[in-house]
Amino acid sequence: MIYVLWSPLKLQETLTSASVFLNTLTPKFYVALTGTSSLISGLILIFEWWYFRKYGTSFIEQVSVSHLRPLLGGVESSSTTGLFSSVNGEAEPRPSVSECKVWRNPLNLFRGAEYNRYTWVTGKEPLTYYDMNLSAQDHQTFFTGDTQQLKPEDAVMQKAWRERNPQARIRAAYQAIEMNHECAAAYVLLAEEEATTITEAERLFKKALSIVLFLHTRSQHEAWFSFYQYINLLVYIKRRLAMCARKLGRIKEAVKMMRDLMKEFPLLGMLNIHENLLEALLELQAYADVQAVLAKYDDISLPKSATICYTSALLKARAVSDKFSPEAASRRGLSTAEMNAVEAIHRAVEFNPHVPKYLLEMKSLILPPEHILKRGDSEAVAYAFFHLQHWKRAEGALNLLHCTWEGTFRIIPYPLEKGHLFYPYPGCTETADRELLPSFHEVSVYPKKELPFFILFTAGLCSFTAILAMLTHQFPELMGVFAKAFFSTLFAPLGFFADKMESFMPSSFWHQLTRI
């Protein structure tokens, strides 16, 4: 093809003129060329790095996979059989994004009395829109019951939960109270969002509780107040009152309220009230009671949480941590109790590997979100925010954690094809955590992602062209000779190939081919 096109396109003259042009170029041209290349590749590198830190993927790779690959006929393999298996060798599907269920944070703070204070001081929003939208859906489901039988004030509250502006929600709550002074859901909203102190929030919750109890008594004779709506309101209000008592220092009262609530509504285990109880018992240092609660809920058939796994590890670590020494343990080996504590820490870290950095204060804490993703960074933030003080109180517990937690990753198969004690770590936690946690927080990612190829490529290109620009600026004559030699070497094979082809074939053949 090169020989056929040699004469019509006048490639010989083109190569000659290109050689003459390159020979007349001054070193300033090469400085400008390499400098511009370095600048452009540097800008691409900065954008790629920012995009990777924000979204966890390469922009160029994402565009290539999403837009270019379908045009080129690429088909993504849907077969993942055999990639993920449990410890007994049985195949398990990799969790998808839809399987990463978001749970309500059992220890979520009060918006008016706690989250808003943070906003007033720092000017930052601690809650994301996605998180607040999930809360609005929860409240609509919990407090308004059947939408086909809504009373006027309930319809107002339906809209109030959906409002993005806090002041609009508060105004709607007052509007609902004007329509009906017995609208308990309106008092709940005011306690959550308007009350600026825990004491004021507790007063409003008590007002809502008295209304719910009165309505329940009256509903035994009238059918308009649904039992479903009563249960949800009653459980929510009693739980928040117990949390108010815990925050105000009345811990024994809070423990009693939580125990009564769990006894009265034993089927509402999905609300995770036992996690509130565990935290309050740890504050009382009632470790025997904590162990009794764990014996009931740390069961293989029940879903786990960071609170259960790390509290179990804390109790076992507390028994040996005060006398634990890494040097002594390396000399004599671990005792049975120490081995149990280390295994409990490894189990907890495998369940949620993000927690230790917060407990060891290697990563800064933020206010916990209203919803968490189990095994994700959001759950780690929520656990460490409330339980760091309990680990500090147990002498030597954090030291034992510091010495042993990284050993977990030598046990877990890499690259996470199967788990050790739990299912393989889901790959969708980063995406959900970025939606739940505020933008100013650096989301913890596990396992650590390798840098995309295009970041490494642009970094190498930027560095190489920057070095060339510097050398050309410092040694213009020498680099000019190198550049001319490089381009001469690049174009020489084309002419050599054409000459060889002409000598191999008869001139009549090329003449006939040119005519065709």
3-state class of 104 per DSSP? strand
Closest CA to 390 of 282, 290, 503: 282
- What is the reported pTM? 0.69
CB 290 within 8 A of CB 281: yes
CB 370 within 8 A of CB 108: yes
Q: Which residues pair with 102 in a beta bridge?
A: 373
Q: What one-character DSSP code corresponds to residue 271?
A: G
Q: What Cα–Cα distance (Å) separates residue 465 from each residue in 41, 53, 490?
A: 9, 25, 19
Q: What one-character DSSP code corresponds to residue 103?
A: E
Predicted confidence at residue 339, as pLDDT, reads 86
Predicted confidence at residue 386, as pLDDT, reads 93
Q: What Cα–Cα distance (Å) separates residue 251 from each residue in 126, 209, 286, 393?
A: 27, 20, 11, 17
CB 231 within 8 A of CB 225: no
CB 233 within 8 A of CB 142: yes
- Would you write out the chain's pLDDT as a tens digit for each of its 516 residues? 665 555 555 656 666 666 666 566 666 776 777 778 778 878 887 887 777 776 666 777 777 766 666 665 544 433 333 333 333 343 333 444 445 788 899 999 999 899 999 999 988 999 999 989 898 888 887 776 555 567 788 788 888 888 888 899 999 999 988 988 888 888 999 999 999 999 999 999 999 999 888 876 766 555 545 556 677 888 889 999 999 999 999 999 999 999 999 888 877 767 888 899 999 999 999 999 999 998 888 776 667 888 999 999 999 988 888 777 777 777 777 788 888 888 888 888 888 889 999 999 988 999 999 999 988 899 999 999 999 999 999 888 888 888 887 766 666 655 444 555 566 666 777 888 888 999 888 888 775 655 666 677 777 877 877 787 777 777 777 776 776 676 666 656 655 555 555 555 555 554 554 555
Closest CA to 105 of 77, 126, 79: 126
CA atoms within 13 A on the CB side of 389: 10
Residue 516 structure tokens: 């065709």
Closest CA to 189 of 176, 181, 197, 199: 176
Closest CA to 355 of 331, 325, 383, 328: 383
CA atoms within 13 A on the CB side of 30: 26
Predicted confidence at residue 148, as pLDDT, reads 52
3-state class of 371 per DSSP? strand
State the alpha helices, DSSP H only, in 56-151. Answer: 59-63, 69-71, 116-122, 129-144
Closest CA to 244 of 188, 294, 293: 188
Q: Where do the domains of the chain lie?
A: 35-63, 108-287, 304-456
d(CA 387, CA 372): 16
Q: Which residues pair with 493 in a beta bridge?
A: none
Contacting residues for 43 by C-beta, under 8 A, at least 6 apart = none
Q: What Cα–Cα distance (Å) separates residue 402 from each residue in 132, 362, 397, 456, 458?
A: 35, 11, 9, 33, 37
d(CA 510, CA 508): 6
Contacting residues for 143 by C-beta, under 8 A, at least 6 apart = 157, 161, 185, 188, 229, 232, 233, 236
Q: In CATH, which superfamily holds the domain spanning 108-287?
A: Tetratricopeptide repeat domain (1.25.40.10)
DSSP states of 36-69: HHHHHHHHHHHHHHHHHHHHSS-HHHHHIIIIIH
CB 217 within 8 A of CB 237: no
CB 390 within 8 A of CB 286: no
Query: Cα dihedral sign for 192, 196, 202, 206?
Result: negative
